[in-house]
């Protein structure tokens, strides 16, 4: 199975700063079937990015995704207070679907 | 819009089985695949498997093969996930989530069902 490694484990930033989250796959992700989710405490995950770089419906344009093959990045251009949460990457190109272990974005 | 409503929390003894339901509304039931994903307390997300409500075909993560069964009832637009031989490590929130296709990401999620396994 494809293992996804996210870094850093925790990212401490202030509102208004830029956040860069990384997701590295143990093998190439088929057809860029790479998605990013945001999860807040007590809530279900929320789809942010699919196909590595396409924003899901209703997602603000401060969220952007990039990458291909084994290296992917989620960038939040200017952090808003509501952006502090845990972020997961997921690949769905090879069975089983797998998630990264998550990056916690916390307020500095 | 698409809504997924899951059944309520469960407390089970080790060795028992649990069956969680996920009722879909707001779309054609057979048009969306349903995934099951779980999250142990304080841990990350773990994909368990997927069912195609149209024909009922399933794919399970190898970790759960032999213990998980996913089924659907088209008459009530409900998908079920049954996990057997429960152990303490199965204590988690179980989510259903829909996707447009087998390889597609999950746009819509249920509210989650907490399953607690006691010894």
Could you tell me what percent of chain B has a pLDDT over 70? 100
Mutate to test the interface with B, among A55, A92, A102, A103 (most CBs of B within 10 A): A92
What are the tokens at B107? 């746009």
Confidence band (pLDDT; 50, 70, 90) for B27? Answer: confident
| Confidence at residue B28, expressed as pLDDT on a 0 to 100 scale | 87
Q: Which chain B residues are Cβ-neighbours of A92 within 8 angstroms? A: 99, 102-105
Residue B115 neighbours by CB distance under 10 Å = 19
Asked whether A82 and A48 are in contact (CB, 8 A), the reply is no
Asked whether A8 and A19 are in contact (CB, 8 A), the reply is no
Closest in A45, A47, A93 to B45, CB measured: A45
| Confidence at residue B42, expressed as pLDDT on a 0 to 100 scale | 95
| Confidence at residue B17, expressed as pLDDT on a 0 to 100 scale | 98
Which segments of B1-119 are extended strands (E)? 3-6, 10-13, 18-25, 33-39, 45-51, 58-60, 68-73, 78-83, 92-99, 108-109, 113-118
Q: Which chain B residues are Cβ-neighbours of A1 within 8 angstroms? A: 62
pLDDT higher than 80, residue A31 = no
Closest in A50, A95, A100 to B59, CB measured: A95
Half-sphere exposure of A53 (CA within 13 A, CB side): 8
Alpha carbon B79 to its chain centroid, in Å, reads: 8
How far is it, in rounded angstroms, from Cα A14 to Cα B37?
31
Nearest residue to A63 via CA among A3, A28, A107, A105: A105
| Confidence at residue B103, expressed as pLDDT on a 0 to 100 scale | 87
B44 vs A: CB within 8 A = yes
Helix (H, G, I), strand (E, B) or coil at A80: coil
pLDDT higher than 80, residue B115 = yes
B48-100 pLDDT, tens digit each: 999 999 999 999 999 999 999 999 999 999 999 999 999 999 999 999 999 99
What are the tokens at B28? 């054609």
Per the CB < 8 Å rule, is A30 touching B44? no
Strands B113-118 and B58-60 turn out to be: unpaired
B61 beta partners: none
């Amino acid at each position: 199975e494809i293992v996804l490694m996210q870094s850093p484990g925790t990212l401490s930033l202030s509102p208004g700063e830029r956040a860069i989250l990384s997701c590295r796959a143990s093998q190439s992700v088929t057809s860029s079937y790479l998605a990013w989710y945001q999860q807040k405490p007590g809530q279900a995950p929320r789809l942010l990015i699919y196909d590595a770089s396409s924003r899901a419906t209703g997602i603000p344009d401060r969220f952007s995704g990039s990458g291909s093959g084994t290296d992917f990045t989620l960038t939040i251009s200017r952090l808003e207070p509501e952006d502090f949460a845990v972020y997961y990457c997921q690949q769905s190109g090879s069975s089983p679907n797998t998630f990264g272990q998550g990056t916690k974005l916390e307020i500095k | 819009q698409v809504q997924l409503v899951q059944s309520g929390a469960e407390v089970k003894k080790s060795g028992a089985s649990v069956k969680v339901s996920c009722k879909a509304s707001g779309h054609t039931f057979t048009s969306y695949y349903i995934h099951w994903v779980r999250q142990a307390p304080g841990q990350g997300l773990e994909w368990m498997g997927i069912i195609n409500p149209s024909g009922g075909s399933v794919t399970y993560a190898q970790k759960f093969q032999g213990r998980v069964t996913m089924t659907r009832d088209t008459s009530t637009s409900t998908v079920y996930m049954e996990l057997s031989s429960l152990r303490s490590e199965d204590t988690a929130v179980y989510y259903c989530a829909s996707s447009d296709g087998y390889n597609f990401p999950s746009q819509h999620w249920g509210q989650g069902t907490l399953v607690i396994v006691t010894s």
